[in-house]
C-alpha cells in the first residue's frame, strides 16, 4: 500500500482511548518520511467514553482536498463495543484493511461482522497497553498494528516519531513504554 | 529587494496556527470569552500568556459582547487589540461590531466559522460571519491553514493602515481548518514583528495632551458623513489588501490578492466559492483537466470590500458560472455570495450564465463527486442555454 499516492485511514474509538492522538502520531510519522498529511477528528466535542472518529490522510504530494474520508484504505477499531453502535466497515475499500483491538482471532471478527471483503487484522492492544503502560490506552499499540497491516510508514519511522513526540510530552520512560507497545503490537498482530 | 525569509515547517492544528500568529503579533490586549463557542485559539493563546511568552494583557470576559467591548476600549486607548470567536459568539457581538468599525478602531478578530443555532450545531458554515458582513469590518477568508496563519499577520497591517483604520475579521472554516492537523510554515518571530511594525495610534484616549472623544452622540447633522467616510475607507482597503499581500509575498514567497484564480483564465466553466472548499475544488479541477475539461475556480479571499471588478473581469468570458454559498439568506432570491457576484457582473459585464448552489450548511460535507456534478451541470447549462430557476441545494435530503 505504501506505493499508493494517497492513503486514507479511519480510526474508531471512545473518548479517552487516544484515537485522535493516534491519527496525529501516524500523520507525523509520515511527515518525517517526507510525505504530506492531514489528521482530523469527526467531532470536536470529545467526552470520556463517547464514540469518536478520527482520520489520517497521507500522500506523496500536497493534499488539496478537505472533504471527509468516505472510502478508507484502512479502519482501526480501538473498542469492539462500537460494533453494536455503527458499521465500522462502512465504505472500507474491498481490498482495505480492518484492524481491531481484540483478544479474538481475525476469523472470529470476520464472522461477527459478517464480513466477506477486506483483510482483517487483530491485536490485543488493550492487553499490550496494560502490560507496557500500566493502563488500557490502546492507541499506541493500534498504531503499530495499522503500520503492520498497511505498511503506510516504516516501523522504524513510527518508533522514532513515538519516541520524539511522546518524549517531549510525557518524558523518556513513558515514551519508551509506548515504543515498546508499538513494537509488541507490530509483532503480535495477526492477519486472517 | 529583500531576501526571502524561510519559515519553519511545523505540524499544528489550524486553531493552534492562528494562536501562534497571535503569539508572534504579541497584541497589547486580548479580551476574549474563554468558554464554548470559543475555539482552541484562545485556549492556546491563554497558555502563551500564562507562560509569559507574550506581553499581552489578557482579559477573560463574561461574554462575547463584553470581549468586543473590551477590545474597543483598549483600541480607543491606543492599544493593539485582538480577539477570537466563532459561530454564536460572533452573533452576540453584533452590536459592538458596529461600534468598533464606527469608531474606526483597527481591531483584528480571528473568526472560526461555525453554524448558528437553532438547532445547536458547532460545525462549519459561513452564516456567522456572513451575518456580520454589513457591520463595516474587512473580511478575509482563508482557503488553507497556511493562509489562515498568513492572513492573521497581514490583517494587522490592513487594519492599521492610516487610510483604512477599520477592524478586520480573519476567517477560517471551523473544524475543516480549525481542527485539522497539518504541516504549515511558521515565520521567524522577528520577521513577523518587523512586518507588522509598531502601532502608533493617531488618537488615543490616554494621550491627555491631546484629548479626544470616542463614541459621542451624533444625529442627522453628520452621522451620515461618518458612514460615508467608512464606505470610502472600505474602498481604500481593497488597495491595501493588495499592497500588503504583495509585500507579504515578497517576504515569504506566498503572494495573496483579493481573489485567487485556479486554472481560471482559459476555463469555460468556473466555480466561485469561499473558504476551504477551494482545495477540494482544485482537486476536482486537476482530475477534470486530466480529461480535457476546461474548468476553473475563483476563490474569494476578500469578501469585504467585495472585489467586483476583479471578479467580473475573471468571470465575464466564461460559458457558465456556479456560485457556491455556504450561508443562507432566507427568502432572498439567491444567497450572499451569488448576489454579490451577480451584481458585479451586471455592473461590469459581460454576464455569463449563472447558477447558485448552497452546500456545507451545519458542517455537511461536500464530496469531490458532487463538485464534479456541479461542473457537469454547468456544461449542460452552456449546451442548452437554459438556466433552471431557483437555487440548487447540494447534498441535502429533501
Partner-chain contact B368 A67, CB within 8 Å: yes
| B234 and B320 part of one domain | no
Sheet holding B392-393, edge to edge: B259-262, B295-300, B269-274, B320-325, B353-358, B392-393
In the sheet where B8-13 sits, what is the strand order? Answer: A190-191, A119-123, A97-101, A74-77, A6-14, A51-59, A36-41, B181-186, B8-13
Report yes or no: A114 at the B interface, CB cutoff 8 Å.
Answer: no
Taken as a whole, chain A contains a residue count of 192
Q: Are residues B37 and B184 in the same domain?
A: yes
Q: Would residue B82 count as lying in a domain?
A: yes
Residue A155 lies in a domain: yes
User: Which of A170, A168, A153, A141 lies closest to A29, judged by CA?
Assistant: A153
Residue B3 domain flag: no
Strand order in the sheet with B168-173: B57-60, B29-32, B81-86, B108-113, B168-173, B138-141, B302-304
- Do B275 and B126 touch, CB atoms closer than 8 A? yes
Within-domain flag for B1: no
Could you write out the three-class secondary structure of chain B? CCCCCCCEEEEEEHHHHHHHHHHHHCCCEEEECCCCCCCHHHHHHHHHHHCCCCCCEEEECCCHHHHHHHHHHHHHCCCCEEEEEECHHHHHCHHHHHHHHHCCCCCEEEEEECCCCCCCCCCCCCHHHHCCCCCCCEEEECCCHHHHHHHHHHHHHHHHCCCCCCCEEEEEECCCCCCCEEEEEECCHHHHHHHHCCCCCCCCCCCCCCCCCCCCCCCCCCHHHHHHHHHHHHHHHHHHHHHHHHHHHHHHCCCCCCEEEECCCCCCEEEEEECCHHHHHHHHHHHHHHCCCCEEEEEECEEECCCHHHHHHHHCCCCEEEEEECCCCCCCCCCHHHHHHHHHHHHHCCCCEEEEEECCHHHCCCCHHHHHHHHHHHHHHHHHCCCCCCCEECCCCC
By residue range, what is the domain housing residue B113?
8-252
Look-up of cell digits 466559492: B273
Instruction: Say if residue B37 is preceded by a cis peptide, omega within 30 of 0.
Output: yes
Count up the domains in chain A and report the number: 1
CB A164 within 8 Å of CB A43: no
Closest Cβ–Cβ partner in A23, A31, A64 for B282: A64
Angle at B356 between CA B354 and CA B360, to 5 degrees: 145
* Last residue within a domain, chosen from B190, B224, B252: B252
State pLDDT tens for residues A83-140.
999 999 999 999 999 999 999 999 999 999 999 999 999 999 999 999 999 999 999 9
Cβ contact B7:B185 at 8 Å: yes
Cβ contact A66–B282 (<8 Å) = no
Question: Looking at the domain assignment, is residue A147 inside a domain?
Answer: yes
Cross-chain CB nearest to B365 (options A24, A27, A68): A68
Same domain, B153 and B242: yes
Mutate to test the interface with A, among B175, B181, B263, B286 (most CBs of A within 10 A): B181
Task: Work out whether strand B295-300 and strand B81-86 pair parallel, antiparallel, or are unpaired.
Answer: unpaired
Output the pLDDT for position A46. Answer: 63
- Give the cell for residue B20: 501562534
How far apart are the C-alpha atoms of B273 and B335, rounded to whole Å? 12
pLDDT at residue B1 in the model: 47
Q: Which residues of A touch B367 (CB under 8 A)?
A: 67-68, 70
Q: What local confidence, expressed as pLDDT, does residue A192 receive?
A: 87
Q: Is the peptide bond before B308 cis (omega within 30 degrees of 0)?
A: no
User: Domain check: are B291 and B358 in the same one?
Assistant: yes
Number of Cβ pairs closer than 8 Å across A and B? Answer: 58
Residue A2 has pLDDT above 60, yes or no: no
Cβ <8 Å between B180 and A44? no
Among B252, B284, B311, give the residue marking a domain's end: B252
N- to C-terminal Cα distance for chain B?
57
Do B316 and B247 fall into the same domain? no
> Does the distance separating the beta carbons of A67 and B367 come in below 8 Å?
yes
pLDDT at B305: 98
Contact A65 B279 (CB under 8 A): yes
A5 touches chain B (CB under 8 A): no
User: Hey, are the CB atoms on B122 and A67 less than 8 Å from each other?
Assistant: no
Q: Which phi and psi angles does B319 have, rounded to 5°?
A: -75, -35
User: How many angstroms separate the CA atoms of B315 and B312, rounded?
Assistant: 5
Q: What is the pLDDT of residue A3?
A: 40
**How much is the pLDDT for A5?**
83
Q: Are B370 and B394 in contact (CB under 8 A)?
A: yes
The verdict on A135 touching B (C-beta cutoff 8 Å) is: no
CB atoms B11 and A28 under 8 Å = yes
What are A132-156's pLDDT values in tens digits? 999 999 999 999 999 999 999 999 9
User: Which chain B residues are closer than 8 Å to A66 by Cβ?
Assistant: 173, 176-177, 180, 276-277, 279-280
Question: Nearest-5° angle of CA B59, CA B70, CA B241?
Answer: 105
**Residues of chain B positioned with their CB less than 8 A from the CB of A24:** 11, 181
Cell numbers describing residue B311: 471578479
Quick one: pLDDT at residue A48?
Answer: 85
Both B186 and B69 in one domain: the answer is yes
Output the domain CATH number for residue B279.
3.40.50.920
CATH number of the domain at A87, please.
Answer: 3.40.920.10
Kindly determine whether residue B277 and residue A68, on different chains, have CB atoms separated by under 8 Å: no
Q: How much is the pLDDT for A47?
A: 79
Residue A1 located in a structural domain: no
Cell 498482530 appears where? A189
pLDDT value for B3:
58
Q: Which range of residues forms the domain containing residue A57?
A: 6-191
Do B246 and B263 belong together in one domain? no
CATH number at residue B93: 3.40.50.970
Pairing of strands B181-186, B8-13: antiparallel
Residue B364 to chain A, least CA–CA distance (Å):
10
Quick check: B277 and A64 CB within 8 A? no
Within a domain: residue B314? yes
Q: Are residues B242 and B288 in the same domain?
A: no
Give the residue from B252, B283, B309 where a domain finishes: B252
| Residue B370 sits in the same domain as residue B287 | yes
Closest residue in A to B366 (Cα–Cα) = A67
DSSP A189: -
B172 occurs within a structural domain: yes
pTM over 0.90: yes
Reported as a pLDDT band with limits 50, 70 and 90, residue A44 is low
B354 lies in some domain: yes
**Domain presence at residue A117:** yes
Q: State whether B277 and B239 are in the same domain.
A: no
The 10 Å Cβ neighbour count of residue B222 is 10
Q: Which one of B177, B183, B365 has the shortest CB-CB distance to A67?
A: B365
Same domain, B283 and B241: no
Q: Is residue A17 part of a domain?
A: yes
Tell me if A110 is assigned to some domain: yes
pLDDT per residue as tens digits for the range A164-187: 999 988 999 999 999 999 999 999
Residues B164 and B25 in one domain: yes
Chain A residue with CA closest to B276: the answer is A66
| B366 closest CB neighbour out of A23, A39, A67 | A67
CB contact under 8 A, B368 and A65: yes
pLDDT above 50: residue A12? yes
For chain A, positions 40-79, list CB contacts with chain B under 8 A.
40-41, 44-45, 63-68, 70
Q: How many independent structural domains does chain B possess?
A: 2
Q: Choose among A113, A114, A139, A112: nearest CA to A128.
A: A139
Quick check: is B129 in a domain?
Answer: yes
pLDDT, one tens digit for every residue, chain B (398 residues) = 455 898 999 999 999 999 999 999 999 999 999 998 899 999 999 999 999 999 999 999 999 999 999 999 999 999 999 999 999 999 999 999 999 999 999 999 999 999 999 999 989 999 999 999 999 999 999 999 999 999 999 999 999 999 999 999 999 999 999 999 999 999 999 999 999 999 999 999 999 999 999 999 999 999 999 999 999 999 999 999 999 999 999 999 999 999 999 999 999 999 999 999 999 999 999 999 999 999 999 999 999 999 999 999 999 999 999 999 999 999 999 999 999 999 999 999 899 999 999 999 999 999 999 999 999 999 999 999 999 899 999 999 98
User: Does residue B220 sit within a domain?
Assistant: yes
Find the chain B residues whose C-beta atoms sit closer than 8 A to any C-beta of A.
11, 122-123, 173, 175-177, 179-183, 276-277, 279-280, 282-283, 286, 365-368
Amino acid at each position: 500500500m505504501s506505493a499508493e499516492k494517497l492513503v486514507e485511514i479511519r480510526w474508531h474509538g471512545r473518548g479517552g482511548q487516544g484515537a485522535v492522538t493516534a491519527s496525529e502520531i501516524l500523520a507525523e510519522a509520515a511527515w518525517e518520511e517526507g510525505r504530506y498529511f492531514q489528521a482530523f477528528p469527526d467531532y470536536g466535542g470529545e467526552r470520556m467514553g463517547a464514540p469518536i472518529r478520527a482520520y489520517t490522510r497521507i500522500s506523496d504530494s500536497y493534499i488539496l482536498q478537505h472533504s471527509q474520508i468516505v472510502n478508507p484504505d484502512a479502519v482501526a477499531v480501538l473498542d469492539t463495543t462500537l460494533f453494536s453502535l455503527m458499521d465500522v466497515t462502512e465504505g472500507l475499500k474491498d481490498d482495505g484493511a480492518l484492524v481491531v483491538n481484540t483478544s479474538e482471532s481475525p476469523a472470529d471478527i470476520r464472522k461477527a461482522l459478517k464480513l466477506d471483503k477486506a483483510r482483517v487484522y487483530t491485536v490485543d492492544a488493550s492487553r499490550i497497553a496494560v502490560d507496557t503502560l500500566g493502563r488500557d490506552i490502546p492507541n499506541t499499540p493500534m498504531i503499530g498494528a495499522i503500520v503492520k497491516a498497511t505498511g503506510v510508514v516504516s516501523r522504524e519511522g513510527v518508533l522514532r516519531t513515538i519516541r520524539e513526540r511522546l518524549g517531549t510530552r510525557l518524558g523518556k520512560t513513558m515514551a519508551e513504554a509506548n515504543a515498546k507497545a508499538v513494537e509488541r503490537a507490530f509483532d503480535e498482530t495477526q492477519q486472517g | 529587494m529583500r531576501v526571502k525569509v524561510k519559515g519553519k515547517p511545523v505540524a499544528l492544528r489550524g486553531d493552534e496556527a492562528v494562536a501562534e500568529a497571535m503569539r508572534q503579533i504579541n497584541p497589547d490586549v486580548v479580551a476574549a470569552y474563554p468558554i464554548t463557542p470559543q475555539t482552541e485559539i484562545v485556549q492556546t493563546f491563554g497558555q502563551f500568556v500564562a507562560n509569559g511568552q507574550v506581553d499581552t494583557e489578557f482579559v477573560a470576559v463574561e461574554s462575547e459582547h463584553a470581549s468586543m467591548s473590551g477590545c474597543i476600549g483598549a483600541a480607543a486607548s491606543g492599544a493593539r487589540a485582538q480577539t477570537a470567536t466563532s459561530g454564536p459568539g460572533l452573533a452576540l457581538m453584533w452590536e459592538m461590531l458596529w461600534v468598533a468599525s464606527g469608531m474606526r478602531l483597527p481591531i483584528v478578530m480571528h473568526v472560526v466559522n461555525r453554524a448558528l443555532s437553532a438547532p445547536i450545531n458547532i460545525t462549519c458554515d459561513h452564516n456567522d460571519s456572513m451575518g456580520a458582513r454589513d457591520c463595516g469590518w474587512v473580511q478575509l477568508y482563508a482557503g488553507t491553514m497556511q493562509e489562515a496563519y498568513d492572513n492573521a499577520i497581514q490583517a494587522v497591517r490592513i487594519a492599521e493602515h492610516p487610510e483604512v483604520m477599520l477592524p478586520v475579521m480573519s476567517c477560517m472554516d471551523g473544524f475543516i481548518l480549525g481542527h485539522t492537523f497539518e504541516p504549515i510554515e511558521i515565520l521567524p518571530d522577528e520577521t513577523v514583528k518587523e512586518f507588522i511594525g509598531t502601532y502608533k495610534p493617531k488618537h488615543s484616549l490616554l494621550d491627555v495632551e491631546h484629548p479626544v472623544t470616542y463614541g459621542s452622540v451624533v444625529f442627522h447633522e453628520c452621522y451620515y458623513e461618518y458612514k460615508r467616510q467608512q464606505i470610502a475607507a472600505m474602498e481604500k482597503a481593497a488597495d491595501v489588501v493588495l499592497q500588503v499581500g504583495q509585500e507579504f509575498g515578497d517576504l515569504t514567497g506566498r503572494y495573496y490578492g483579493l481573489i485567487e484564480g485556479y486554472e481560471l483564465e482559459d476555463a469555460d466553466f468556473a466555480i466561485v466559492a469561499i473558504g476551504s472548499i477551494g482545495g477540494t475544488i482544485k482537486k476536482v479541477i486537476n482530475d477534470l483537466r486530466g480529461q480535457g475539461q476546461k474548468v476553473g475556480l475563483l476563490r474569494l479571499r476578500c469578501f469585504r470590500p467585495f472585489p467586483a471588478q476583479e471578479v467580473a473581469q475573471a468571470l465575464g468570458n466564461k460559458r457558465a458560472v456556479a456560485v457556491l454559498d455556504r450561508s443562507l439568506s432566507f427568502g432572498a432570491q439567491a444567497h450572499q455570495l451569488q448576489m454579490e457576484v451577480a451584481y458585479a457582473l451586471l455592473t461590469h459585464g459581460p454576464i455569463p450564465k449563472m447558477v447558485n448552489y448552497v452546500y456545507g450548511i451545519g458542517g455537511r460535507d461536500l464530496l469531490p463527486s458532487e463538485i464534479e456534478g456541479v461542473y457537469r451541470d454547468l456544461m449542460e447549462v452552456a449546451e442548452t442555454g437554459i438556466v433552471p430557476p431557483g437555487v440548487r441545494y447540494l447534498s441535502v435530503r429533501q
